[in-house]
Amino acid sequence: MGALRQRLGAMALIVAAMAGVGTIASPTARAEEPAIELRIMTFNMWYGGAQVNAGQVVEAIKAAKADIVGLQEPDGTARAIANGLGWPYVDERRHILSRYPLFDPPGDSLYVWVEPRPGRIVAVANVHMPATPYGPEAVRDGQDLAAVMQMETETRMPAIQPYLAALPKVAADGTPVFLTGDFNSPSHLDWTEAVMKVRPQVKYVVEWPVSKALADAGLRDSYREAHPDPVERAGLTWTAGYPYPRVKPAETFDRIDLVWSAGNTRVTASEVVGEAGGPDVDIPVMPWPSDHRAVVSTFEAVPGIAPAMVGVDRRVVTQGDDFILRFSIESREEARISVVPKGGDPAKNALARMATGDASDRPSIKLGSTFMKAGAYDAVLCDADGKELARTPFWVLGRDAMPIVASKKASYKPGQTIDVSWHNAPGMKFDWVAIYRAGDPDIYNYIAYIYTGATVEGTGSFDSEAIGGKLDPGNYEVRLLRDDSYVLLARASFTVK
């Protein structure tokens, strides 16, 4: 399911913030390029994996023999999970872990490029749809089909729309696409007349809008490709218990954790990872660490041809730490890689530069940040003539730098828009800013919130729509919190009078 703010149905805010212009895909793959095997996993790890044993999250991924994992609810622990796996490739902005190098496409893309073979890529996106109101519970509680469909259309469809616009274009241009996620909505392939006869929860046929829209856009549900009959093999992922074997009274059970693919891919297997003895569990792990079961699907895929790419092993570098630049380009002898201040010209503003041909024996370069000032930077890849081929941003933060959040004004009138800013944020997918009453110790008792869009520094606004009306006169504070968790990073006070 999902975190409290996702239960309120506002996940589309972060999706919209990240939509950007990142729909540029790689050139079309050559027909003779051989297929490779990839195991793609989706795993809601239940509030940072801390509810049972975070080490078991690592063990579950190992047991699944996954190559690429889309995490939901890592709560700021994605890099720690990757470290436990011994994997060096982590995308904290999208909650994706990989055995293989990761690169950002141009702009604030919804997906990341994964390079499973030198010069060859696939695209991977990862979502966590809003959790409430939850459709199967509405069916359970007696709502009719029209009400359920309206709820789904208003709650989850806005969150999936940017992916529907972006991912089919990538697949059409020759790069295989994978979409992992906790969709918090069943599949339209599961709520059929045949299933109604064997699952009392399925009271009527539902063409669940999110999965139907993905299928109509050309994406394929890998578990149903591998197991076409939902009666014979339901593949339920929600819920394994809180934790197993504890299950709430009148709980609903469904398949909401999915791995989709598009483009030149073929499913050869799809397996449920979960508690020993669980329904349709293929890969048992005990104790099972999550309230969701995971899914790992095996694909044969023909990767697309990579464009020139440059990446940094982390978006936020602590001053004094080493960092790694990675690049991919067909002809290394004719390119230069540079580090420049944000927006800088590699020919004029480079702080460090080298010819990639000088690194012909390796696809990465380690640099130090000790003498770099705190601030925003770009890694830039250029050809021999200085033409820019790829650019990706990163930040250097002072070793003692603390996250900061601020209200633009110390005092507002009731109904005024409250403008806020943040600096030195972790830059994780679901970092968020919330308004609380001053000094309120109840961490769940926020009045309103916005996501930061995975930015390290930025601004946002709380208007009357975001707040749900006017703030009463009184003392308030704005709080910056980490990655959809309640880890408080910074706060600042303001008044309404």
Q: Is 178 exposed, middle or buried (0-12, 13-18, 19+ CB in 10 A)?
A: buried
Query: For residue 85, how many other CB atoms are within 10 A of its CB?
Result: 19
SS (H, E, C) 225-245: HHCCCCCCCCCCCECCCCCCC
Shared domain for 111 and 15, answered yes or no, is yes
The domain that holds 466 is classified in CATH as 2.60.40.1930
Q: In the predicted model, is pLDDT for residue 138 greater than 90? A: yes
Q: In the predicted model, is pLDDT for residue 19 greater than 80? A: no
What is residue 335's predicted lDDT score, i.e. its pLDDT?
87
What is residue 359's predicted lDDT score, i.e. its pLDDT?
64
What mean pLDDT comes out for the span 174-188? Answer: 98
Domain final position from 397, 426, 448: 397
Question: For the whole prediction, is pTM greater than 0.85?
Answer: yes
Q: In the predicted model, is pLDDT for residue 6 greater than 70? A: no
- Confidence band (pLDDT; 50, 70, 90) for 16? very low
Shared domain for 159 and 244, answered yes or no, is yes
List, for residues 322-334, the tens digit of each pLDDT value: 999 999 988 766 7
Task: Give the amino acid at 419.
Answer: D
| HSE toward the beta carbon, residue 39, CA cutoff 13 A | 17
What is residue 7's predicted lDDT score, i.e. its pLDDT?
39
List, for residues 420-443, the tens digit of each pLDDT value: 999 999 999 999 999 999 999 999
* Distance, CA of 313 to CA of 108 (rounded, Å): 17
The domain that holds 57 is classified in CATH as 3.60.10.10
Shared domain for 299 and 320, answered yes or no, is no
- Confidence band (pLDDT; 50, 70, 90) for 357? confident
- Low-confidence winner among 26-35, 151-160, 173-182 (lowest mean pLDDT): 26-35
List, for residues 228-269, the tens digit of each pLDDT value: 999 999 999 999 999 999 999 999 999 999 999 999 999 999
Shared domain for 272 and 346, answered yes or no, is no
What is residue 29's predicted lDDT score, i.e. its pLDDT?
41
Shared domain for 189 and 317, answered yes or no, is no
Q: In the predicted model, is pLDDT for residue 374 greater than 70? A: yes
What is residue 332's predicted lDDT score, i.e. its pLDDT?
65
* Distance, CA of 449 to CA of 206 (rounded, Å): 32
What mean pLDDT comes out for the span 351-368? Answer: 84
Domain final position from 265, 285, 305: 305
List, for residues 195-217, the tens digit of each pLDDT value: 999 999 999 999 999 999 999 99
Shared domain for 53 and 181, answered yes or no, is yes
Task: Give the amino acid at 81.
Answer: I
Shared domain for 289 and 425, answered yes or no, is no
Q: In the predicted model, is pLDDT for residue 22 greater than 50? A: no
What mean pLDDT comes out for the span 403-410? Answer: 98
- The sheet carrying 322-328 orders its strands as 309-312, 322-328, 364-368
* Distance, CA of 458 to CA of 423 (rounded, Å): 7
Shared domain for 317 and 438, answered yes or no, is no
Shared domain for 298 and 335, answered yes or no, is no
Inter-residue long-range contacts of 138-145, CB under 8 Å, 24+ positions, other chains counted: 139/201, 139/202, 139/203, 139/204, 139/206, 140/201, 140/250, 140/252, 145/204, 145/206
- Confidence band (pLDDT; 50, 70, 90) for 10? very low
Structural domain count, the chain: 3
Shared domain for 319 and 301, answered yes or no, is no
Q: In the predicted model, is pLDDT for residue 226 greater than 70? A: yes
Looking at every residue in the chain, the average pLDDT score rounds to: 92
- Percent of the chain exceeding pLDDT 90 equals 88
Shared domain for 143 and 184, answered yes or no, is yes
Q: In the predicted model, is pLDDT for residue 5 greater than 60? A: no
Q: Which of 285, 233, 227 is nearest to 58 (CA)?
A: 285
- Residue 153's H or E segment, with its range, is helix 145-155
- Percent of the chain exceeding pLDDT 70 equals 93
Domain range for residue 448?
A: 404-496
User: CA angle 90-337-97, nearest 5°?
Assistant: 10
* Distance, CA of 104 to CA of 87 (rounded, Å): 18
Q: What is the DSSP string of 309-347?
A: EEEES-SEEETT-EEEEEEE-S-GGGEEEEEEETT--HH
Domain final position from 265, 281, 305: 305
List, for residues 31-67, the tens digit of each pLDDT value: 467 899 999 999 999 999 999 999 999 999 999 999 9
Shared domain for 276 and 349, answered yes or no, is no
